[in-house]
Amino acid sequence: MHDKIEKPVHDTDMRYRALFENANDAIFLLEADKFVECNAKTLEMFGCTPEQIIGKTPYDPYSPEFQPDGRKSKDKALEKIHLVMQGQSQLFNWRHNKYNGKVFDAEVSLNRLELPGKILIQAIVRDVTKLKRLGGKLKTSEEKYKTLVEHVSELIYMHDLDGKLTYVSPQCEKIAGYTAQDLIGQKWTSYATDNPINKLALDIFEEARETGKSPKTHQVEIRKKDGDVIVLEVNDSILRDANGDITGVVGSARNITNQKLMEQALAESEQKFRTFFENEPEYCYMISPQGTILEANSTALSVLGYAKEELIGKPIESLYAPELYERVRQLLSQWKQTGEIRNEEMVIITRNGDRRTVLLSSAQVLGENGKPLHSVSIQRDITESKKAQEELKKSKEFLDNVINSLDDSFFIKDQEHRWLMLNDAACELIGRPREELIGKSDYDLFPKEQADVFWEMDNLVFETGRTNVNEEKVTWHDKVHTISSKKSLYTDPVTGQKFLTGINRDITERKKAEERLRQSEERFKILFESAPDAYYIHDLEGNFIDG
């Protein structure tokens, strides 16, 4: 017991760790016959450091070569370990060595401890050297009996019918901070708080005095000398004089403050879980290891259309679409093996026949023995988002069809000048399949001089935000193409990310036709001007146009 009572962490592992570290007995873990972990009491009892014990065996160097029965410590220890590994817990007396070689007697219990992926042995060692020394003396001397009483971990006390303490064991100072001198002659109620459990304790004593029967086990709450409050579990027995008249009470008390705090924390944790469970907007269930529904929250009941009593006890698979029954059985098997299911898309059927698409996640809740008690299953309804995805998919397919039907090439680039999207005409213009172009930049496809020009034009759009219309000379397949280009800036309204959209039209043939026409007109004009004869052109009404 400790004077300072600290509220335990809610987590089960942390509570176990607190008990492990603060136990009055040495507790250590063995893997095969080697120490792998121990508490502080082990180091104190064996007089060693962690480095001096971890990796060592309990028979060498921490036991003499032989036990009192003449057997070798190693042989006997390995036999005990073998029995424990076979599932047979062991409780026996043992003679141990401290690190400095000093021998002490101990009571040892060994238990098999199964953890994920390995099996350990938990050993609890109690130094009984003092108790063994007192054992013989207790038979002949009341003083020796008193010595034993004063060395037990529980508080021993006696009080008269008025509640005045007549005896208090030294453990009181360790538990509550008071010495025997502080308490003898004082009423125990002087140290009690206003907690109703203290009124109940008085009622229990009055009932015992009237009936002559020893009071049942009960609890009291007292204030320690330093002001902290602790809870004691009390076992009382009636004291009688030579005439059989009741004269008072002899009792023992142990500090259960940590236990009460743990119980309170557990109750609070359970309440928080219940609050979360009932108010969670997703569908929540508790499922037995056999796959039946133990509990369902109001959201699930509302959507499914069942009353709670109708749903409890039903197989969980009955909620799903019939074509998924086999998949549900596979998931139950997976749950038993791995302990969890994550984001499994399923379809549930409501009572009126509606189909809802959900994402299923489930996790096991384990008991103290490490076996699953049940699982908590959460279904997130994604029916509407699935519909929206389908609509978005259709819309995207329609848009892709429209874009790919364009004769002009269309593309989108990010700010690193990488192509994010190209339509069929763009791929055809460049002369490469789409998968070779996505994620590439101009420098991956064109000579550096040409890529520099494109990069500069793109940057102009990114920096100014203005649409750029231009004609560009591009060499593809060893041929020079004239491209009419229109590039614009698009800013995503949600993320603020900027993209460049472009439309290119190959006007190479048109430019060639224009050049041929220009050259033809030029030749005609030269011929017309240099002819020796007079030529003229007039319209149908006789008006001269040229000559």
Residue among 212, 189, 210, 190 at smallest CA distance from 201: 189
How much is the pTM? Answer: 0.38
Confidence band of 535 (pLDDT split at 50, 70, 90):
low
pLDDT band per the 50, 70, 90 thresholds, residue 6: very low
Q: Does residue 1 carry a pLDDT above 90?
A: no
Structure-block tokens of residue 370:
């490490």
How far, in Å, CA of 155 to CA of 168, rounded?
A: 7
Nearest Cα residue to 130 out of 110, 103, 117, 148: 148
Let me know the angle formed at the C-alpha of 234 by 200 and 180, rounded to the nearest 5 degrees.
110
Greater confidence (64 vs 148) lies with 64
pLDDT tens column, 291-335: 888 888 888 888 888 888 888 888 888 888 888 888 888 888 887
Mean pLDDT, residues 478-490: 81
Residue 92 has pLDDT above 90, yes or no: yes
Range name among 2-16, 81-95, 169-183, 267-281 with the lowest pLDDT average: 2-16
| pLDDT tens digits, 440-478 | 988 888 788 888 888 888 898 999 989 888 887 776 666
Measured at the CA of 221, the angle between CA 215 and CA 227, to 5 degrees, comes to: 150
Tens digits of residue pLDDT in 51-83: 999 999 999 889 999 999 999 999 999 999 999
Give pLDDT, residue 498. Answer: 92
115 touches 37 (CB < 8 A): no
Which segment of 119-123, 169-173, 349-353 scores lowest on mean pLDDT? 169-173
Inter-residue contact 296 to 308 (CB < 8 Å)? yes
Residue 439: pLDDT above 60? yes
pLDDT of res. 403: 82
- CA dist 80 and 63 (Å) reads 14
For range 415-440, the mean pLDDT? 88
Mean pLDDT across the chain: 83
- Lowest-confidence pick of 43-52, 119-128, 293-302: 293-302
In this predicted structure, the answer to whether residue 147 has a pLDDT above a threshold of 50 is yes
Which of 104, 122, 94 is CA-nearest to residue 27? 122
List, in sequence order, every beta strand (DSSP E) within 194-300: 218-223, 229-240, 246-255, 283-287, 293-296
What's the mean pLDDT in 222-226? 90
Element housing 538 (H / E): strand 537-538
